[in-house]
Amino acid sequence: MAEDRFYLTVDRERRQPQNDGYLAVISQGSPQHGDEECTVLDVCVVKSMKHAKAWYRRALIERPWETRS
């Protein structure tokens, strides 16, 4: 797993029919890129892909990754 690489994964939120959003996940490691281990760092439900990308950019600035004391 690449320790310094963060990945955004987004898919439709389909638990309930009335939900019209996306589930966005920031992780270290990505199965799509061949990583066998992944660590989920943050999860958010957003309204669109545009919102997911904005959330991801903000999170990369604000939370790399919670090493504050």
Residue whose C-alpha is closest to residue 40's, from 49, 30, 32, 48:
30
Domain-located, residue 68: no
Tell me whether strands 39-46 and 6-12 are parallel, antiparallel or unpaired.
Answer: unpaired
Domain residues for the domain of 34 are 6-62
Domain-located, residue 48: yes
The pTM assigned to this predicted structure is 0.78
Domain-located, residue 26: yes
Residue whose C-alpha is closest to residue 66's, from 31, 18, 26, 19:
26
Domain-located, residue 1: no
10-58 confidence digits (pLDDT tens):
988 776 666 678 999 999 988 788 888 899 999 999 999 999 999 999 9
Predicted confidence at residue 51, as pLDDT, reads 96
Domain count, the chain: 1
Q: Given a cut of 60, is residue 3 above it in pLDDT?
A: no
